[in-house]
Amino acid sequence: MRSILLIGTGRVAFHLGHAIKRAGLDLVGICGRNVQQVDQRAAELGIPSLTLADAPGKADIIVIAVSDDAIADVAMNIPIGDSVVMHTSGASDLDKLLPHPHRAVLWPVISLSPGEPMDFKSVPLVIEANSDLARDRVMELAQVLSEWVMELTHAQRELVHTSAAISLNFPLHLLARAQGLLADHAIDPSILLPSFLAMAQKAATIGASEALTGPARRGDLGTIRHHLDRLTDDPELRAAYARLSSMILRAYGHPDHGYTDV
């Protein structure tokens, strides 16, 4: 059984660490810059808290689960050994793991939020590697953790990462802004949640294009103008509504006629 060392204490490290333990793999320890957080994660996982100096010889695989900007610095501070060193970023290339000879990527394509540890079995895992040894080990790890493993190049990962930001981050931010709009007018913002959840389920069932509803999908320009009138106090949100409505109108063959200009 491959031994694994986890570096990081954030959301990815939390969920990935629990997934590794749940899969029965040999998680030999966890380390990071914040000693208190490392000790907390180590206690949660029932594993030792270690330092970067402990990495060589301790693990066959070293997983760096930190922010994108910190990957290179962490990798540079891990003494060179025979371990396969991998990061969990969708946007970062393998060169961030230099000077380690065996480098790989293990990227979970999902938004990892606080809460209960996520079951990785249905989470898409994207992998990439620079050597046969690195590929064998990251593929082995990924296939134990998930039933959905895909090998992509860095350019392909960047495209998936961009698409994920559009489809996952933007809707949640718009939901937060829409709920804030209701809260500002003393309306319970949770009124939007059942429809939001139903929309996601319908998109998974019949596809996003078919699931889409609303005035822009129907070509209802009058309603769009009324909505824009309600958003005059929030120019930023009004501009976003107008631009997205214009995109939807044109995508479904409806005339825009400048109704969504702001």
The stretch 188-205 carries a mean pLDDT of: 95
CB 75 within 8 A of CB 97: yes
DSSP characters over the chain: --EEEEE--SHHHHHHHHHHHHTT-EEEEEE-S-HHHHHHHHHHHT--B--GGG-TTT-SEEEE-S-GGGHHHHHHTSPP-SSEEEE--SS--GGGGTT-SSEEEEEE-S---SSSPP-GGGS-EEEEESSHHHHHHHHHHHHHH-S-EEE--HHHHHHHHHHHIIIIIHHHHHHHHHHHHHHHTT--GGGGHHHHHHHHHHHHHH-HHHH--SHHHHT-HHHHHHHHHHTTT-HHHHHHHHHHHHHHHHHTT---TTTT--
The stretch 207-223 carries a mean pLDDT of: 94
Q: Assess whether pLDDT exceeds 90 at residue 153.
A: yes
Strand 149-151 versus strand 84-87 pairing type: unpaired
pLDDT in tens, 165-184: 999 899 999 999 999 999 99
The stretch 39-50 carries a mean pLDDT of: 90
100 vs 258, which has greater pLDDT? Answer: 100
The radius of gyration computed from the CA coordinates of the chain, to the nearest angstrom, equals 23
Percent of the chain with pLDDT over 70: 96
Q: Going from the N-terminus, what domains does the chain have, and what CATH number goes with each?
A: 3-152 (3.40.50.720), 157-251 (1.10.1040.20)
Phi-psi map region of 79: left, alpha, beta (phi>0 left; psi -120 to 50 alpha):
beta
Residue 257 CA to residue 141 CA, distance in Å, equals 54
- Angle between the N-to-C axes of helices 35-45 and 11-22, in degrees from 0 to 180, rounded to the nearest 10: 20
Predicted local confidence at residue 259, as pLDDT: 57
pLDDT in tens, 15-31: 999 999 999 999 999 99
CB 149 within 8 A of CB 142: yes
Task: Tell which residue, 52, 19, 17, has the closest CA to residue 33.
Answer: 52
In degrees rounded to 5, what are phi and psi of residue 177? -65, -40
Strand 103-108 versus strand 125-129 pairing type: antiparallel
Q: Indicate the residue type of 30.
A: I
Residue 87 CA to residue 37 CA, distance in Å, equals 19
CB 125 within 8 A of CB 99: no
Residue 212 CA to residue 248 CA, distance in Å, equals 9
The stretch 161-168 carries a mean pLDDT of: 92
Ranges 30-44, 92-106, 159-173: which has the least confidence: 30-44
Task: Tell which residue, 204, 201, 214, has the closest CA to residue 248.
Answer: 214
In degrees rounded to 5, what are phi and psi of residue 90? -80, -25
Predicted local confidence at residue 258, as pLDDT: 65
Predicted local confidence at residue 36, as pLDDT: 86
CB 86 within 8 A of CB 130: no
